[in-house]
Amino acid sequence: MTSKVDPYYVQPEDTLEDMQPNLERALGLTRADLEKMSLEARNLFSARRKLGHTWLDDYEVVVECTEVGPQCGCGIQKGQQLVFDMRHKVLPAESTAPLCVHLMAPVLPIFYMTFDRAAEGLNPFTCVWRYQECPITGPDDGAHQTRTRAFLRDRKTKEVVYQRHLPKPEGAN
């Protein structure tokens, strides 16, 4: 009886060794860390093979204020932006909005599924996850909440990435 290889999952013998130098640089993961990692976790990192090893450096997530509610206590203005790298870090030098935890909190689910979508080579903002609201509703039960839109942009050119499938960098498998 022959066993079928599932192309969507890392095989147990795949140690991700070819990726180790890049994972160490990007996330501080050593060879020992990779050896201890579960198959499921290694599967998440193997997504980088599909997009190329640089995708965490190629893109950034931008959350832009589209509407300011009267109960906003952070002083955010329409058009201001919070910018995050793909490792979930706020980039203060790139951001124009005050660092408001109420506006940052709704972005967290985007990062939860970034690796999963990347495993399929997909842009995380095409159909869902594009619009968020501040969780502070105010006395009008949220009718006039502060609202944002989130999008992916190219880190070098600062152009918004609209295509559903992320382009592979040159030399990616």
CB 104 within 8 A of CB 82: yes
Q: Within a 10 A sphere around the Cβ of 92, how many other Cβ atoms?
A: 10
Please say whether the dihedral angle defined by the alpha carbons of residues 36, 168, 155 and 132, taken in this order, is positive or negative. Answer: negative
Q: How much is the pLDDT for 160?
A: 93
Q: How much is the pLDDT for 16?
A: 81
Helix residue ranges per DSSP H, the chain: 20-27, 31-36, 39-51, 55-58, 101-104, 108-119
Q: How much is the pLDDT for 101?
A: 87
Q: Which residues of the chain have pLDDT under 70?
A: 1-12, 44, 47-54, 115-116, 118-120, 126-128, 168-173
CA–CA separation, 62 vs 151, rounded Å?
5
Q: How much is the pLDDT for 1?
A: 43
Whether this model's pTM surpasses 0.85: no
The structure tokens listed for 104 are 């940052």
CA distances from 37 to 14, 25, 46, 163 (A): 11, 17, 12, 32
Tell the residue number behind the tokens 């890049």, with chain if given: 22
CB 138 within 8 A of CB 121: no
CB 132 within 8 A of CB 63: yes
